[in-house]
């Protein structure tokens, strides 16, 4: 079977994947999760360290069992900026991007928005859906619109969370995407990173097609079973 390393996005909490974890384990897979640093000065290196450390802790336990498994990273949203850097530190068998940001060499996460035209794409998609294209970002409207109320309430009760400021100022250090098999899963109703926008970015920057899946930006919270099904639908021998 496979070990899946689930990397959260801007929220930075392992909790984001809490509904996917039992789905994966129920299918016989192993799971690695981690909280990411919230220190404002924690940049790309510190985030990579957190993921690598979690993988290392898991491998220590795995060695006791003597059961080798494929290792696949699953990166949500902002994690698209640092998950590829993990591939430079740890031998992985695959990388799955979920509603993710794809960096270009030398680009910062702060510059990514204007470089890709995200704001224009978000406004155009809002207009297409009959929503106000000039509306400011709203967490509930843009992210939690299709998440069950009980899950949304639990997320809100945890208090504010967010990415470290340093993540948005550091240039992406690689000269090219790592030589690792990569998939891109994208929510059809993602209001933040619309489907057509992501399709263009994935083709321009990685030369790959996206795999649409029903749901919005927070697929692990809104459609954990469906997301797990798609994540597991990958024959690494092909």
Query: What pLDDT was estimated at residue 211?
Result: 98
How many structural domains is the chain composed of?
1
User: How far is Cα of residue 66 from the mean position of the Cα atoms in its chain?
Assistant: 30
Residue 66's pLDDT is 62
Task: Tell whether 177 is covered by a domain.
Answer: yes
Q: What is the dihedral of CA 62, 16, 19, 97, to 10 degrees?
A: -70
Assess if residue 236 is contained within a domain.
no
Q: Is the dihedral of CA 139, 118, 111, 82 positive or negative?
A: positive
Q: State how far the Cα of 55 lies from the Cα of 65, in Å rounded to an integer.
A: 15
Phi and psi (nearest 5°) for 53? -65, -40
pLDDT in tens, the chain (238 residues): 899 999 999 999 999 999 999 999 999 999 999 999 989 999 999 999 999 999 997 765 565 556 668 999 999 999 999 999 999 999 999 999 999 999 999 999 999 999 999 999 999 999 999 999 999 999 999 999 999 999 999 999 987 677 999 999 999 999 999 999 999 999 999 999 999 999 999 999 999 999 999 999 999 999 999 999 999 997 544 3
Burial, 141: exposed, middle or buried (Cβ in 10 Å; 0-12, 13-18, 19+)? middle
Q: What is the pLDDT of residue 180?
A: 97
Residue 189 lies in a domain: yes
Q: Tell me if 138 is assigned to some domain.
A: yes
Determine the Cα–Cα distance for residues 8 and 141; give it in Å rounded to an integer. 20
Q: Which of 22, 4, 6, 28 is nearest to 77 (CA)?
A: 6
**Token pair recorded at residue 226:** 């469906």
Domain assignment present for 154: yes
Phi and psi at residue 13, to the nearest 5°: -105, 135
Which single residue is written with the structure tokens 């994690």?
79
Instruction: Write down the pLDDT at residue 237.
Output: 40
**What's the confidence (pLDDT) of residue 1?**
83
The rounded distance, in Å, linking the Cα atoms of 42 and 83 is 15
Residue 164 falls within a domain, yes or no? yes
Question: Which structural domain range is residue 117 located in?
Answer: 2-231
Reported pTM: 0.95
CB 37 within 8 A of CB 82: no
The predicted structure's pLDDT at residue 158: 85
Q: Examine residue 237 and state whether it is found in any structural domain, yes or no.
A: no
Beta carbons of 4 and 231 less than 8 angstroms apart: yes
Query: Where residue 139 sits, what CATH number does that domain have?
Result: 3.40.50.1820
Query: Is residue 238 situated within a structural domain?
Result: no
């Amino acid at each position: 079977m496979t070990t899946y390393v689930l990397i959260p996005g801007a929220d930075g909490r392992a909790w984001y994947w809490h509904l996917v974890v039992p789905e994966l384990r129920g299918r016989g897979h192993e799971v690695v999760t981690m909280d990411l640093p919230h220190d404002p000065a924690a940049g790309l290196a510190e985030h990579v360290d957190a993921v690598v450390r979690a993988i290392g802790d898991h491998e220590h336990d795995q060695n006791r069992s003597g059961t080798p498994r494929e290792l696949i990273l699953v990166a949500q949203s902002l994690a698209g900026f640092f998950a590829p850097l993990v591939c430079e530190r740890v031998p992985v068998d695959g990388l799955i991007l979920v509603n993710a940001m794809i960096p270009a060499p030398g680009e910062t996460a702060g510059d990514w928005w204007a470089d890709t035209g995200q704001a224009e794409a978000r406004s155009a998609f809002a207009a297409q859906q009959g929503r106000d294209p000039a509306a400011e970002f709203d967490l509930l409207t843009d992210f939690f619109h299709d998440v069950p109320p009980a899950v949304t309430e639990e997320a809100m009760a945890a208090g504010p969370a967010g990415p470290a400021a340093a993540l948005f100022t550091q240039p992406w250090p690689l000269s090219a995407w790592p030589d690792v098999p990569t998939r891109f899963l994208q929510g059809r109703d993602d209001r933040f990173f619309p489907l057509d926008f992501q399709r263009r970015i994935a083709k321009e920057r990685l030369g790959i097609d996206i795999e649409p899946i029903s749901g919005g930006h927070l697929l692990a919270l809104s459609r954990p079973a469906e997301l797990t099904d798609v994540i597991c639908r990958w024959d690494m021998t092909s």
